[in-house]
Chain A
């Protein structure tokens, strides 16, 4: 009975299946086209900037065109202009220096929040985050004057201090999220063996949560690298990082689009690659684990 029935229905089923398959394929194709169009539109300005970096200045302001003979001239020029590497070096020093400092200060703090929580832990964490909501512009004047009096204006030390404090709340928050994922027992076992708090942190906690610490560090590097408020207001020439260098191109008389594009490409390339590689980890840490 069953066999005859299924036998009788088979051709119809196949036809229906084919139609369903075809409409599914069509739907998939539509989604692919839509997805790729959106992605390319969003990415277009970056693509265009990279492309312009390989054009001559004349081609850069000519009618938009995808076809031209690429040149590395701009990259040579940007390098030759004594400025670029100074700015890039300042960016590297400040971004990595402030990140290391912030991690150093934040790890013990996040450790105690995650493993020795008290009634006040949650409050402390939220308070730290709320300092991030204090608009920097509200305290620009005092910081500017303090820095002027301490001789920290336009110095790498000064900018490093500012970035460390600027990112500290987010670093503590992310580390806390990662540390909390670690089972308590592992650290307790270490404690039984007589490890001191410092040993516990250095030999147990840090190796075990290294991916989390790394992605926290990378977000901090990204935020410092791209920071454009303090860097524009607290530096002029000596300690100016890349955002200030790029901003100096905004005056119309100094407009060399192709060179600007080449410099911009070099300014964002390392961070873009960092970002691509660590996006998933970063999201997990940033969202209190609320988003897995």
Chain B
């Protein structure tokens, strides 16, 4: 019996290879070819507007980029954006998950309404917020401010990054809520009841039972959100175009400006390499976290 199992596994190895080959090969190609090209271009002098100026540039593009204050500002913006949105969505999502776990009238409908923004495409949500919510003259927020006697605010010029953070958080809070709500439903009611009998208040229960129970779900939320938040693009493209100045230019948008607006392939590629390195640093931590979670 054992023997057939063992031999089955060798055959299995071959079968595994052929079954996985398409997916693995395609992803390898998808990853390696553009990556190699990006690295190659990053050492080239290559501007689509100046075809005569081709040639090896050495580390010129990197020097140019690394001494360009725009890069550091873009990195800072990227980290601020990711950090704030993660903080808001994870904390908010956890609190909302606890709220929507309580039994109340029409809970099912309220839950569905609350998770809806996750399914709205980024360009639509950016436009709705820009034109209908945060518009300084006709937006709902301006109207609300005026009706209580406050001056209307021009969100995108006075608080540009905050505005982007609000929009992106609005999109991702429902996602965190969706995952955490599902996780919280598997919480053992008896355990909570026992703790209550022992005189634990709701706050103690939250920190000692609910939060530890949600640990894995929270790490999943952080991982998935991080993948998408590092590359936020449409929300900026539609609302502020990275401005005013560089206030809302993150790495993704900076490379877009260099590549598709300035046609400077060399510098854009160097920026791409830096973005990839940054993402990998983050990814190493994330993969460790997930791998640990997978083992439990």
Contact = CB atoms under 8 A, between A and B. Distances in A.
Determine if chain A interacts with chain B.
yes
Interface of A: 28, 31-32, 34-36, 38-40, 42-46, 48-49, 52, 61-64, 105-106, 108-109, 111-113, 116, 118, 122, 124, 126, 128-146, 165, 168-169, 172, 197, 222, 225-226, 228-229, 232-233, 242-244, 246-247, 249-250, 255, 257, 260-261, 264, 267-268, 271-272, 274-276, 279-280, 282-284, 286-288, 290-292
Q: Give the interface centre of B23, B179, B286, B291 by most chain A CB atoms within 10 Å.
A: B23
Given A28-B104, A46-B117, A64-B143, A287 B179 contact: yes
Given A109-B19, A243-B234, A250-B127, A32 B104 contact: yes
A135 B19 contact: no
B217 A290 contact: yes
22 contacts: A38-B99, A42-B113, A43-B114, A111-B19, A116-B13, A118-B13, A124-B20, A133-B230, A139-B38, A141-B37, A142-B33, A165-B26, A197-B19, A228-B123, A246-B121, A247-B234, A247-B238, A267-B124, A268-B120, A268-B121, A279-B115, A290-B216
Interface string B142-163: 0100000000000000000000
A292 B179 contact: no
Contact of A137 (B116, B233, B280): B233
Contact of A287 (B133, B220, B268): B220
Contacts of B100: 35
Nearest to A271: B119
Interface stretch (B49-57, B64-72, B249-257): B249-257
Contacts of B22: 105, 108-109
Interface string B274-287: 01100110110011
Given A36-B104, A133-B279, A243-B122, 13 more contacts: A35-B100, A35-B107, A36-B110, A118-B16, A135-B231, A135-B252, A143-B34, A242-B121, A249-B127, A261-B132, A279-B178, A290-B217, A291-B182
A243 B276 contact: no
Nearest to B283: A133
A142 B34 contact: yes
B6 interface: no
Interface in B39-57: 41
Interface in B189-240: 216-217, 220, 224, 226-227, 230-231, 233-234, 237-239
B210 to A, nearest CB: 14
Q: Which 9 A-B pairs have the closest CB atoms?
A: A228-B234, A139-B34, A142-B37, A275-B119, A226-B121, A32-B104, A138-B272, A39-B110, A109-B23
A165 B30 contact: yes
A232 B252 CA distance: 13
B132 A130 contact: no
Contacts of A109: 19-20, 22-24
Nearest to B272: A138
Interface of B: 12-13, 15-16, 19-20, 22-24, 26-27, 30-31, 33-35, 37-38, 41, 96, 99-100, 102-107, 109-133, 138, 140, 143, 170, 173-174, 178-179, 182-183, 186, 216-217, 220, 224, 226-227, 230-231, 233-234, 237-239, 251-252, 255-256, 259-260, 265, 268-269, 272-273, 275-276, 279-280, 282-283, 286-287, 290-291, 293-294
Given A140-B259, A140-B272, A226 B120 contact: yes
B118 A141 contact: no
Contacts of B287: 126, 129-130
B102 A39 contact: no
B14 to A, nearest CB: 10
A284 B185 CA distance: 12
Nearest to A136: B231
Contacts of A168: 23, 26-27
A141 B286 CA distance: 26
Nearest to B218: A291
B115 to A, nearest CB: 6
Contacts of B224: 286
Contacts of B173: 42
A45 B256 contact: no
